[in-house]
Amino acid sequence: MQTPHAAADPHAELRTLLSSRVALLAVESRDEIRALALLRDAGLHARRASGSGIFVWSATEGLKRIDRDMGAPQRHLIEPAQMLRHLKSTPMPGIYILLDFHPWLADPVNIRMLKDVVLDQATVARTIVLMSHEITLPAELVPLAARFRPALPSAGERRQIVTRVFDEWRRQHKGSAPRVERSALARVIDNLAGLSAADAERLVRRVLYDDGAITADDLSAVQAGKYELLNRHGTLDFEPDTARFADIGGLANLRRWVETRRAAFDGSAPGLDAPRGVLLLGVQGCGKSLAARAIAGIFGVPLLRFDFAALYSKWHGESEQNLRDTLATASALAPCVLWIDEIEKALASGEGDSGTGRRVLGAFLTWMAERRTRVFLVATANDVSALPPELIRKGRFDEIFFVDLPDAAARATILGIHAARRDVPLADAEARQLAARSEAFSGAELEQAVVAALYTAHAQGVPVNAACIAREIEATRPLAVVMAEQVAALRSWAQGRTVRAD
């Protein structure tokens, strides 16, 4: 049987499980100290059989009673098989917590002995608790087990953690108080959400001990540290500094759309539903990736780039689990923008697909529909024909924007930006003339023309100027010309189905 994840009061749910004499309980937690404290507290307050005890077993210490002082642990019970035989024969009711026992669940004899203990619940009221960071139960034990995952620290608990670290700092500095900006402290406590108590404490200690202060400058360090702790699968790239992308040129319609929803996203307009995401469809090289960064910059939040290809595994079910873990990480890092580049390739499935692609798509669509955290999804695509129909139906995204080839004014702006970035002298009039000669060029192709002009000028030993860029433009056949049929088809599909980004 399955139980839901821990509710707001983890003690209440755990007490219910232990009082109801659940025979086998799987507890998944990366914060062993906190989980043990929860189990001990819930066990002491649960309605158990008379004379019940609370015991902890580990492969290094053996079996030890923790609800009262009974001396040293029983080290003769270090061996798993010996410990299971003891549990099977003892008449002592109680809660027996087995730490990191999952490696020994591969032994059929251990499975059978554990099953014997569980099935003997009517004779001796024992609850066996398997605790580890992750537990996969053998098929024989699944119907007999309940699962419990302790809730992560609440805002109040996170505040207590910060206070505890501050007190530690004062003791080490002879009563001197750290320098704290109240507004920054509130944001730091908010950004610790999604971390275990141990991870949160380590992160607060790291930023405080760096300079003896908690200021607004520490927020990016907290976000980056949190990302490092949570991104265990390596499927997310973290970009905290997105503000510099907020003032890019072009994409006027998209920019207005995002700005009108900023208050709903940051929570300053609580009566409005938070926006959920956009699909950016368009010609390659026309700025869809830059648009994703610009959205994060306008919202003032970090950008997470999701590497979908890193999810897939040859083991059955592991790809879907990797997806769920990654999306849970993104939710823990909220508020943020989650960017999936070329989503049509990430979610494509063909004749050789064993069903993994469909299951991953199903899990992803479920997350899109059910998420409640402030994770704004930005998906970009070049080939609309490869997109699963389920993904682009109404309701999946708030809006579908089409990013087309830049017009003459936008091309002049793009050329000016890339020339200035590389110290290439380019007057406004020269930029307009070059824009007139570069019809059907994408933003990426215009950038490459500036870069190529620099290479050529350096090789010839002459200064780079507008004429050099013009020669590179003349020598280039843009993608919209080389792949004219495909680009025309994409534009035709987008007409009437999407909103222009510019």
Question: For the chain, how are helix, strand and coil distributed in percent, rounded to 5?
Answer: 50, 15, 35
pLDDT at position 174 is 83
DSSP 397: S
Q: Which two tokens stand for residue 303?
A: 């950008």
403: β partners: 282
φ, ψ of residue 298 in degrees (nearest 5):
-65, -40
Q: Which two tokens stand for residue 157?
A: 């608990």
Residues 434 and 466: beta-carbon distance below 8 Å: yes
Residue 290 pLDDT > 90, yes or no?
Answer: no
pLDDT at position 5 is 43
Residue 247 pLDDT > 70, yes or no?
Answer: no
The angle that helices 10-19 and 32-45 make with each other, rounded to 10 degrees, is: 60
Average pLDDT over residues 408-432: 90
Q: Which two tokens stand for residue 201?
A: 């404490």
pLDDT interval class at 118 (50, 70, 90): very high
Write the DSSP assignment of 50-104 as a string of letters: TT-EEEEEETTTEEEE-SS---S-BGGG-SHHHHHHHHHH----EEEEEET-GGG
Write down the pTM of the prediction. 0.69
pLDDT at position 10 is 58
pLDDT at position 115 is 94
pLDDT digits (tens, 9 = 90+) for 424-433: 999 999 999 9
pLDDT over 90, % of the chain:
38
Residue 7 pLDDT > 50, yes or no?
Answer: no
Residue 2 pLDDT > 50, yes or no?
Answer: no
pLDDT interval class at 317 (50, 70, 90): low
Residue 202 pLDDT > 50, yes or no?
Answer: yes
pLDDT at position 347 is 78
pLDDT at position 330 is 87
pLDDT at position 397 is 92
Residue 6 pLDDT > 50, yes or no?
Answer: no
Q: Is the peptide bond before 406 cis (omega within 30 degrees of 0)?
A: no
Q: Which two tokens stand for residue 357?
A: 């692609």
Alpha-carbon gap, residue 145 to 359, rounded angstroms: 25
pLDDT digits (tens, 9 = 90+) for 55-90: 999 999 999 999 888 888 898 899 999 999 999 999
pLDDT at position 427 is 92
Q: What is the mean pLDDT of the chain?
A: 86
pLDDT at position 113 is 94
Residues 213 and 180: beta-carbon distance below 8 Å: yes
Cα–Cα distance list, 471 to 139, 457, 468 (Å): 69, 11, 5
Q: Are strands 24-28 and 145-148 parallel, antiparallel or unpaired?
A: parallel
Residue 8 pLDDT > 60, yes or no?
Answer: no
pLDDT over 70, % of the chain:
93
pLDDT at position 59 is 94
Residue 312, classified by CB atoms within 10 Å of its CB into exposed (0-12), middle (13-18) or buried (19+), is middle
Q: Indicate the SS3 state at residue 208.
A: helix
DSSP 267: T
pLDDT digits (tens, 9 = 90+) for 354-397: 577 788 888 889 999 888 889 999 999 888 878 888 888 877 89
pLDDT at position 244 is 66
Residue 197 pLDDT > 60, yes or no?
Answer: yes
Alpha-carbon gap, residue 357 to 72, rounded angstroms: 53
| b/e per residue 66-77 (b: at least 16 CB within 10 A) | beeeeeebbeeb
| b/e per residue 4-20 (b: at least 16 CB within 10 A) | eebeeebeebbbebbee
Residue bearing tokens 């099953």: 115
Alpha-carbon gap, residue 449 to 472, rounded angstroms: 5
Average pLDDT over residues 493-501: 87
Average pLDDT over residues 111-136: 92
Average pLDDT over residues 317-340: 84
